[in-house]
Amino acid sequence: DFIIVFLSDFNSVPESGPIEYIKRGRVSTEHNEFKHIGYKDCLLKMLSHSKNDQEFTHTFNMASAYSPELMPYTNYTFDFKGIIDYIFYPKNTMKPLGILGPISEEWLKEGKIIGCPHPHIPSDHFSLLVEMGLTLDNNNAVTSSSVSSLVHQPPPSLLGFNRHRSGPQKNEF
DSSP-H helix ranges across the chain: 17-24, 43-47, 105-110, 145-152
Neighbours of 94 (CB within 10 A): 20
The secondary structure element, H or E, covering residue 103 is none
Question: What's the sign of the alpha-carbon dihedral 151, 153, 159, 160?
Answer: positive
State yes or no: cis peptide before 155, omega within 30 of 0.
Answer: no
Active site residues: 9
CA atoms within 13 A on the CB side of 137: 7
